[in-house]
Amino acid sequence: MLYQNILKPLFFKMDPEKAHHVVIGGLHTASKIPGMIPMLRGMYHVKETEDLAVDLFGLRFPTPIGLAAGLDKNAIAVEGFSAIGFGFMEVGTVTPKGQPGNDSPRLFRLTPDEALINRMGFNNEGAEAMARQFARYRERKIPVAINIGKNKATPNEQAFADYQSCIRTLYQYADFFVVNISSPNTPDLRNLQHGNELRELLQAVTEEMDLQRKRHSDSYKAVLVKIAPDVNDAELEYMIVTIQESGVSGIIATNTTITRDGTTHPNAKETGGLSGKPLRERSTEVIRRIYRQTEGKLPIIGSGGVFSARDAYEKIRAGASLVEIYTALIYEGPGINREVHRGLRELLQRDGFRHISEAVGADVRGH
């Protein structure tokens, strides 16, 4: 109620990017004020329940609902987001060198469509700055993935070096990594999803992960690939085969879309990636196709248009083991995590599942 009645009306009167910085800055500041994180946890924390806790990638996810990349680009609000009910989160996208991103305005609300369009362009302070931020954290409440990308100025044929650089700098701080090759806001980035470029990039990434694992005498850390929804069936099939053959650990489906299907707001004309409710069905269909093609052997994190427990459950039944939200947090506020958690438990019980893992891919398997 606090968010819907007081904070949201204030935020929605602000420029979207300014509101974004107020939220992230506020959560960052809250972590420095004694008593604020416990207060946030008391208001929004989601209690772990055995039916929804997920063990995957050698990690324990207390709930299956995570925060997608793009909100906390520099990992300054990890403690704040950890306190408001997420089971995991992505930070970034981070690039080796800091960069300002694209010109403003670059973030737009499509309020009646419950959607956003962004063309931020991987604005971030760089991998070294993120490493310094992580070094300040004493403990980790939830798994944190670091989403990595290439600098805008780096040509695609040298992109592998940027991804390797991010891994080298941030290896010790990530619980797992996400390779972002699907943002529509960095020129030519999506070309890395196809052909030999994808195969060579993932080979370079896995080699660097192996090298760092030995250097740090560390155990296995997962690498996932985040893919775009704007691919045809043949492209998707080839991408899945290449990703499987590379030996990476899973797929995040999907990033934002460049299509504008299902939108009514004038801001739909803006260039950039669309997130929110209009993306829901397409991202779920991509999840279903991945699950079917891999026979459920490659874990999937579902992302795109999740605003309710039913939305999350559709993605889980299509094949997602975990689910992420982003736009819904802005439109619904942090209370959404408890609502989705409660609703998922009810849906599992309704369908006779004792644990969320039993529901993963149920629609594809014909349960």
**Residue positions annotated with a catalytic role:** 183
The answer to whether residues 89 and 78 touch, using CB atoms and an 8 Å cutoff, is yes
Q: Backbone dihedral region of 351: left (phi > 0), alpha (psi from -120 to 50 degrees) or beta? A: alpha
Residues 6+ apart with CB under 8 A from 170: 94, 127, 130, 131, 134, 146, 148
Q: Which residue has the tokens 């819904």?
A: 328
Cα first-last separation, the chain: 38
d(CA 162, CA 201): 10
Residues 6+ apart with CB under 8 A from 136: none
Phi first, then psi: what are they for 303, rounded to 5°?
-145, 135
Length of the chain (residues) = 367
DSSP single-letter state for residue 173: G
The answer to whether residues 99 and 151 touch, using CB atoms and an 8 Å cutoff, is yes
DSSP single-letter state for residue 178: E
**Tally of CB atoms within 10 A around 279:** 25
Q: Pick from 359, 347, 193, 366: which is nearest to 292 by CA?
A: 366
d(CA 152, CA 167): 18
